[in-house]
């Protein structure tokens, strides 16, 4: 009888994780011990597990160095057009495993660590997430960097090295409590400070008019100190750079007019300047007009542009005399890429801070644009249109319309899913679209299959690789080849088995880390994402309550085993915090009801972040993507679940529309209003009480929330939520309730037929190729940036011995 495989042995068997040659393993062990000794200055008697993690991280990092230097040399020699991705968020998560995957070192490292008597998963768990993002937008930037490197583009990510990333979320007595994310406390083995490329950034001051032009004087200077992080491509020897700026006060900061005592104060005040890169604003899809945030934006742009121009000037092309004086050539060598979010806050505006001396510049631009340029000539006499298209909003306080400013300044503007692009063209950007239709494009978002399949779900990657080979990892469209196996009994069994193992593993994790016990045979119905009204966690809550009410009524036969997880944080957003409280309150009642038993568990997982998503996504049976149609620009969580073999219940919103197209309408659970229905309802008026009075189960659920059923000690705890749902719900939860519940019934019915379920899962996996960020980036490269992606490898360096 063969004994069951240990985790270590299981990992070893998987070929997508690279080969563990004896020579490699020996070298890795040697280097690990060398780093423990020379870098960590420890021996094995006193080394902690964190020391072992750092020794391993440094060992793996050594394999990046030669490739990193080579890649940058290669770019210098070839001098290709550079692509610069500016973003205030890069939500990278962990780096160790990703590096091992992309460098095909995973099995060798695993074996080395095992031979050293250590546990790989335990060491991996010590790494802090680089949580320099809030959610989808920041994670998109991270996926794009992976794809740009994997496609051999000369690309750079530029952002801010926040000392504190997205806060750690604790749930205390059912409420969210935030803790500072001190991710750099133990040091970051993946970054390299580059003080030699420090740049000054000027703030405030005033302008002086001289005969030879306007001078900007009396500014406050903050230095931007760059830290570089390597971004390895998938097995192509490319290593690109993510450069994050940290704010440093200059030596003379505030020292100019010091007197006795003033010196101490001046040194203490250095913190004020350095606050610029202190902390990430924790808002997702929400605009907050704070001065410090505007300073962060200016800081990254000013430092980055200086760096880009420096690089241009020292490049082979730029150092030629003609180019050095002729910045018209810059566009041939440089593309800037900025991603911004418009959908939730259609009025995406920035207040003018007079202190920053912006108004004059903006007014000039606006004047030039409106008067001199094209609107007037194209639409003579259309003053209404000119007013609508102005960069300056009229009204009491003069505000810049940032969206308009972007469109005017950009070479191309795109939405991030087809439906999103269509909505932008038909609504907020209609006037601009009519003037410059060619400027508007679509680039449907994507996710990197390295992190979101190979890394987080090696079991599934392997089962796929056994059927169609490994090339799908860099060419995800090849997943279509799986259509041949939709009726293949062995494949169906393998896919089901991997899902079961992932669920078991996640259940074990939940038990260990969150002290909750769930039945691994229940359906894992998961909604993980930031809490926001438009994402309608409240609709999910109503479904849970309805389900619970049906389950506890013994005369009704239960539909199916079922459990639900709701994760993810919210900042200083009152409603979001109340939603968290409601979910935890529902959990307290449901999870302790002996009649329902383990047929329904409601779990709110605290501290959602990239690493937790990597654990939850592979375990999901059902993915909840239930935003009000027209509100979710694309979503990327939806794609992660699809690729990992979950079925989707969702509205016709964002990328869900294209997912339905790719998987086949029969293989996705679509419900609710379409965008047109929502628009029609906006015209006619949405009346929540109509639904409340007509649908008894809905009324029951709302009455329970309102009457303190879930908060017996504080019956009116949720009166704000009830009031919101009944009287000013912009996202029309009740209007989709009935159809959602019916759709959930179909889900439950199908879940009782495992084979049919898995067949639909296979259609989804086979159809998920479009949602690789490699496809997204290839389209940006060819259709906007004018560069050609390539799967060619560049020459490999000698790895460390």
Ligand X SMILES: *Cc1c(COP(=O)(O)O)cnc(C)c1O
Nearest CA-CA partner of 708 in 575, 582, 546, 596: 582
The residue among 35 and 640 lying less far from ligand X, judged by its C-beta, is 640
**Please, which residues have CB within 8 angstroms of residue 613's CB and are 6 or more apart in sequence?**
528, 637, 640
CA of residue 349 relative to chain centroid, distance: 23
Cβ-based nearer residue to ligand X, 113 or 137: 137
Rounded-to-integer distance, Cα 289 and Cα 294, Å:
8
Based on its alpha-carbon atoms, the radius of gyration of the chain, rounded to whole angstroms, reads: 28
**Interface residue with ligand X, options 399, 474, 609, 770 (CB under 6 A):** 609
Q: Is 571 in the site for ligand X (CB under 6 A)?
A: no
In this chain, which of 230, 415, 459, 637 binds ligand X, going by CB under 6 A?
637
Angle at 469 between CA 463 and CA 474, to 5 degrees: 105
487-499 core/surface letters (b: 16 or more CB in 10 A; e: else): eeeebbebbbebb
460 vs 466: CA distance, rounded Å: 10
Shortest reach from residue 527's CB to ligand X, in Å: 8
Q: Which of 96, 400, 463, 613 binds ligand X (CB under 6 A)?
A: 613
Cβ-contact 425, 660 below 8 angstroms: no
Choose among 95, 102, 107, 99: nearest CA to 24.
107
Q: Return the residues of window 118-147 that contact ligand X according to CB under 6 A.
A: 135-136, 139
Q: Which of 415, 635, 645, 767 binds ligand X (CB under 6 A)?
A: 635
Q: Which is nearer to ligand X, 61 or 609 (CB)?
A: 609
Query: Residue 354 is encoded by which pair of tokens?
Result: 């007079």
The two structure tokens encoding residue 572 = 């200083």
Is 730 designated active site?
no
Q: CA nearest 667: which of 728, 757, 789, 538?
A: 757
| Backbone angle region of 238, left / alpha / beta, with phi > 0 → left and psi within -120 to 50 → alpha | beta
Q: Which run of H or E residues covers position 364?
A: helix 359-367
What distance lies between CA 689 and its chain's CA centroid? 36
- Residue 481's Cβ-count burial label (10 Å; 0-12, 13-18, 19+) is middle
By beta-carbon proximity to ligand X, the closer residue of 135 and 165 is 135
Given the complex with ligand X, which of 132 and 389 has the nearer CB atom? 132
DSSP labels, 104-166: T-HHHHHHHHHHTT--HHHHHTTSPPEEE--SHHHHHHHHHHHHHHHTT--EEEEEE--SB-S
User: Does the protein bind ligand X through residue 610 (CB under 6 A)?
Assistant: yes
Contacts to ligand X from residues 491-530, by CB under 6 A: 529-530
Q: How far is the CB of 73 from ligand X (least distance, A)?
A: 34
Stretch binding ligand X (CB under 6 A), from 148-156, 597-605, 606-614, 657-665: 606-614
Which of residues 61 and 139 has its CB atom nearest to ligand X in the complex?
139
Cα 51 to Cα 123: distance, rounded to the nearest angstrom: 9
CA count, 13 A, side-chain hemisphere, 557: 5
The single residue of 35, 530, 770, 775 carrying the catalytic annotation is 530
Whose Cβ is closer to ligand X: residue 341's or residue 704's? 341
Q: Please list, in sequence order, all residues whose beta carbon lies within 8 angstroms of the beta carbon of residue 461, skipping any fewer than 6 positions away.
A: 14, 16, 453, 454, 473
Q: Which residues, including other chains, have CB under 8 Å from residue 359's CB and lie 6 or more apart?
A: 352, 398
Q: Which CB, 18 or 165, lies closer to ligand X?
A: 165
In angstroms, the first-to-last Cα distance of the chain is: 41
Compute CA distances 71 → 160, 305, 559, whole Å.
Answer: 23, 22, 57
Q: Which of 636, 648, 651, 776 is the catalytic position?
A: 636
Q: Is residue 529 flagged as an active site residue?
A: yes
With vertex at residue 135, the alpha carbon angle to CA 177 and CA 642, rounded to the nearest 5 degrees, is 120
Tell me if 483 sits within 8 A of 184, measured CB to CB.
no
The percent helix, strand, coil of the chain (3-state, each to 5) is 50, 15, 35
- Interface with ligand X (CB under 6 A), residue total 12
Q: Which residue is nearest to ligand X (CB)?
A: 637
640 included as an active-site residue: yes
Does 650 sit near ligand X (CB under 6 A)?
Answer: no
Choose, from 349, 474, 536, 601, the residue flagged as catalytic. 349
**Contact track, ligand X, 731-760, x by CB under 6 A:** ------------------------------
Least separation, in Å, of the C-beta of 656 and ligand X? 10
Point out which span in 264-272, 508-516, 633-641, 745-753 binds ligand X (CB under 6 A): 633-641
- Tell me which H or E stretch contains 240: strand 239-248
C-alpha 659/C-alpha 668 separation (Å) is 8
Task: Judge contact between 451 and 143, C-beta under 8 A.
Answer: yes
> 640: Cβ–Cβ under 8 A, 6 or more apart, which residues?
447, 452, 613, 617
Pick the closer one to ligand X by CB: 165 or 637: 637
Binding mask 176-195 for ligand X (x = CB under 6 A): --------------------
**Does 773 interact with ligand X (rule: CB under 6 A)?**
no
* C-alpha distances out from residue 300 to 173, 268, 355, 710, Å: 39, 24, 19, 47
Q: Give the Cα separation of 437 and 637 in Å (integer).
A: 30
Least distance from C-beta 631 to ligand X, angstroms? 11
Site for ligand X in 262-321 (CB under 6 A): none
The residue among 106 and 653 lying less far from ligand X, judged by its C-beta, is: 653
Closest contact distance (angstroms) between CB of 164 and ligand X is 17
Residue 154 or 643 having the CB closest to ligand X: 643
SS3 at position 351: strand
Look at residues 457, 491, 497 and name the one whose alpha carbon lies nearest to residue 766.
491
Nearer to ligand X, 465 or 610 (CB): 610
Q: How far is the CB of 635 from ligand X (least distance, A)?
A: 4
Indicate the residue among 565 and 613 with the shorter CB distance to ligand X: 613
Mind telling me the catalytic residues? Answer: 349, 529-530, 535, 636, 640
Residues that bind ligand X (CB under 6 A): 135-136, 139, 529-530, 609-610, 613, 635-637, 640
């Amino acid at each position: 009888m063969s004994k069951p495989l240990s985790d270590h042995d299981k990992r070893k068997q998987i070929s997508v994780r690279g080969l563990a040659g004896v020579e490699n393993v020996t070298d890795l062990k040697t280097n690990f011990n060398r780093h423990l000794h020379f870098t960590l200055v420890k021996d094995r008697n006193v080394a902690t597990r964190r020391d072992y993690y750092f020794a391993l991280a440094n060992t793996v990092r050594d394999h990046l160095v030669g490739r990193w230097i080579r890649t940058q040399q290669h770019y210098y020699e070839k001098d290709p057009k550079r692509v610069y991705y500016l973003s205030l968020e890069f939500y990278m998560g962990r780096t160790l495993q990703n590096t091992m995957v992309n460098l095909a070192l995973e099995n060798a490292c695993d074996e080395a660590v095992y031979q050293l008597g250590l546990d790989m998963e335990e060491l991996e768990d010590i790494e802090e997430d680089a949580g320099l993002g809030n959610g989808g937008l920041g994670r998109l930037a991270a996926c794009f960097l992976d794809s740009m490197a994997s496609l051999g583009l000369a690309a750079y990510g530029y952002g801010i090295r926040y000392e504190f990333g997205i806060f750690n979320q604790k749930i205390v007595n059912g409420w969210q409590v935030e803790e500072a994310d001190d991710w750099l406390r133990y040091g970051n083995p993946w970054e390299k400070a580059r003080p030699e490329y420090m740049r000054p950034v000027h703030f405030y001051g005033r302008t002086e008019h001289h005969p030879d032009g306007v001078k900007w004087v009396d500014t406050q200077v903050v230095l931007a100190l760059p830290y570089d992080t390597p971004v390895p491509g998938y097995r192509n020897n490319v290593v690109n750079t993510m450069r994050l700026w940290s704010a440093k006060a200059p030596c003379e900061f505030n020292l100019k007019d010091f007197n006795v005592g003033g010196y101490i104060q001046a040194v203490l005040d250095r913190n004020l300047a350095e606050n610029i890169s202190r902390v990430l604003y924790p808002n997702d899809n929400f605009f907050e007009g704070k001065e410090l945030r505007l300073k962060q934006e200016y800081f990254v742009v000013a430092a980055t542009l200086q760096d880009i121009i420096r690089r241009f000037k020292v490049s082979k092309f730029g150092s030629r005399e003609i180019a050095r004086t002729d910045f018209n050539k810059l566009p041939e060598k440089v593309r800037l890429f900025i991603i911004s979010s418009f959908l939730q806050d259609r009025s995406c505006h920035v207040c003018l801070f007079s202190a920053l001396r912006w108004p004059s510049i903006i007014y000039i631009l606006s004047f030039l644009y409106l008067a001199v340029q094209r609107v007037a000539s194209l639409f003579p006499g259309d003053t209404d249109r000119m007013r609508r298209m102005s960069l300056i909003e009229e009204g009491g306080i003069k505000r810049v319309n940032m969206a308009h400013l972007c469109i005017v300044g950009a070479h191309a503007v795109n939405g991030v899913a087809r439906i999103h692009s269509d909505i932008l063209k038909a609504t907020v950007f209609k006037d601009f679209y009519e003037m410059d239709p060619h400027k508007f494009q679509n680039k449907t978002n994507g996710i990197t299959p390295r992190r979101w399949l190979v890394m987080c779900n090696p079991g599934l990657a392997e089962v796929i690789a056994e059927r169609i080979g490994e090339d799908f990892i860099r060419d995800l469209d090849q997943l279509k080849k799986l259509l041949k196996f939709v009726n293949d009994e062995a494949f169906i069994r393998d896919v089901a088995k991997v899902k079961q193992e992932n669920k078991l593993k996640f259940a074990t994790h939940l038990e260990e880390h969150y002290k909750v016990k769930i039945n691994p045979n229940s359906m894992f119905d998961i909604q993980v994402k930031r809490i926001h009204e438009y994402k309608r966690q409240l609709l999910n809550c109503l479904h849970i309550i309805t389900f619970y009410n049906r389950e506890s009524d013994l005369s009704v036969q239960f539909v199916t085993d079922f459990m639900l997880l709701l994760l993810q944080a919210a900042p200083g957003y009152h409603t979001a915090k109340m939603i968290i409280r409601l979910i935890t309150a529902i959990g307290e009642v449901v999870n302790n009801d002996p009649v329902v038993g383990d047929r329904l568990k409601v779990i709110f997982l605290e501290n959602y972040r990239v690493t937790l998503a990597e654990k939850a996504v592979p375990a999901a049976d059902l993915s909840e993507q239930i935003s009000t149609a027209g509100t979710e620009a694309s979503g990327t969580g939806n794609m992660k679940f699809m690729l990992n073999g979950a079925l989707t219940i969702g509205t016709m919103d964002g990328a869900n529309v294209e997912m339905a197209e790719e998987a086949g309408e029969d293989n996705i659970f679509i419900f609710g209003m379409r965008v047109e229905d929502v628009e029609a309802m906006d015209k006619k008026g949405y009346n929540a009480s109509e639904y409340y009075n007509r649908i008894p189960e809905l009324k029951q659920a709302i009455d329970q929330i309102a009457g303190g059923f879930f908060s017996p000690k504080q019956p009116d705890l949720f009166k704000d939520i009830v009031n919101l749902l009944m009287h000013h719900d912009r996202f029309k939860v009740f209007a989709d309730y009935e159809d959602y519940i019916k759709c959930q019934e179909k889900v439950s019915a199908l879940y009782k037929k495992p084979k049919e379920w898995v067949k639909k899962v296979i259609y989804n996996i086979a159809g998920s190729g479009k949602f690789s960020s490699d496809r997204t980036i290839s389209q940006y490269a060819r259709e906007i940036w004018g560069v050609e992606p390539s799967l060619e490898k560049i020459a490999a360096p000698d790895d460390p011995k």
